[in-house]
Structure 1
């Protein structure tokens, strides 16, 4: 799918906004509120009917000092995808996002879940163990300790929200080209992923399977690459003219699934800047970087990615500061025993 030219997108967005305001600011505000409330209520009703709970009603510990600079020139946010299908919350998606409105720049760092790090008070283990041991706050401490990176904000997202975003932003589906067959099955739960080579039009459920698949030679590296690919596609979809009109529905649909400490005023400010000054692309980095790790095995942690910490920390800092170019995901296969090769 080709990305839309930035200049064309901005013209369309600005034209739409001016047109709506011309028709009446009050009517625009009412429309936005109605669409947001309608989508939010539909999501809440669906969650209740399935016996689930509203994630944002649960309190999250995230102890950070208030940032000295509140000018909104830069946002660092810890993005965590949470799966609690069996009642135990765990994460296999850990990302750090940085948005700098003044530079019209969005950067995304994916940290492999098997990255071997020093977890404060717990010793060395996989980085996703930090979340299991102490939730988002311990995960934040772990990232700060190992990579010397302060993070002030978080967004914890249930995987169901990803499905709803895809279906809302792209109701006709998104086009994905698959080179090799992707197959995985769990007999106990009747869960199956089976994509044949070729072009697929995926709805939200299929897209979620696509980004969570890790049962091939690329393992987690392939999954991270697919996650970054889907985020770029969704960015292009939502910045299209039709996508912009669905923004209130998108926000309302996913709000019950998201827990964050970003204030409403910050969201409004960042959202306005993003849609009127959209970046050309999402720049991405994967940790560990190429030639910056080795495959190791420890009895308490299993198969891990042991980092050259100095090299990875330096690469992360340079990337976020704009001192290095975009770094793609490695394509070399990842080792690990058979028990490691599953979706969780």
Structure 2
């Protein structure tokens, strides 16, 4: 009489196989979500209200300079910009650099004489601001992006749902519709917008520009640590509603992917004017301005880029 051998189930191998299958399924789902989201994003054209008038050279084979604007418009026809930045992206090195331009710099605006820098947007939109930056600083701008503040809030909450940790030096409340307490705080989208827009800074507008650069850098760090590349299509979908730009979606995808996969490394920042290259002045009809040493600013830009 022959005895049948009982087969032992090797549960370790079974568990390992199930684990690998689970990882594969999660990866497949993530990739499919990314592809579907990317397809949807590519079929969502961005708002381009100023694209026809904007004359920046469309050359993406070399480094790209994008004029980033946050408009403080609340329904007025003649709005000034709440923030003026230039994002510099090099497709060869994958590096991103960020230049903040102080809005109170006293500059020459084509056909409008000497005014504060942010008046250029009020007079002639993104194109006149591009011309003004080129005339005064010699910097070529290729594209523009105007960010709606509601879109900023939604993008922050999408990328970093847990919020961003910042150190608030003193209570902030005037003009931002909320109160941010002194000390270390974890801020979500709406609060973070208040933090970067607060104007009664003890360092005047210099403190606000510093906070803007801080938030951009921290957002990038947090997004990278959370491996947010799979959120890029949803972010693009948000942008199609809340961002006006003449950048095409494939270029945005390339830059966004490099940033979110940390190909870019740390974002380097520059503020113009630099310390020691300006004086505070007051002029009738214009108010307090920054008288800038433009040659020194041009040299700083050249070294930075």
TM-score, normalization by structure 1: 0.74
Counterpart position of 1:204: 189
My pick for the range that moved more, 295-304 or 78-87, is: 78-87
Whether the 8 Å CA contact 1:292–1:312 is kept in 2: the answer is yes
Q: For the aligned residues, what is the CA RMSD?
A: 2.7
Give ranges in structure 2 of 5+ residues lacking alignment. 1-22
**Other structure's SS at 1:107 match:** strand
**Other structure's SS at 1:192 match:** coil
Counterpart position of 2:291: 306
Cα–Cα, structure 1 residues 300 and 270, in superposed 2: closer, same or farther, change >3 Å? same
Counterpart position of 2:47: 56
Distance 1:139 1:104 in 2: 27
State which structure, 1 or 2, has the greater radius of gyration over its C-alpha atoms. Answer: 2
Return the match for 1:248 from 233, 247, 267.
233
Distance 1:20 1:62 in 2: 46
Cα–Cα, structure 1 residues 109 and 159, in superposed 2: closer, same or farther, change >3 Å? same
Return the match for 2:268 from 277, 283, 305.
283
Counterpart position of 1:97: 87
Map 1:173-188 to 2 at 5 A.
Answer: 173-185=163-175
Counterpart position of 1:76: 65
**Other structure's SS at 1:259 match:** strand
Distance apart, 1:314 and its partner CA: 1.2
**Other structure's SS at 2:184 match:** strand
Whether the 8 Å CA contact 1:104–1:277 is kept in 2: the answer is no
Distance 1:19 1:104 in 2: 30
- Count of aligned residue pairs for this structure pair: 280
Counterpart position of 1:5: none
Cα–Cα, structure 1 residues 317 and 194, in superposed 2: closer, same or farther, change >3 Å? same
**Other structure's SS at 1:297 match:** strand
**Other structure's SS at 1:103 match:** coil
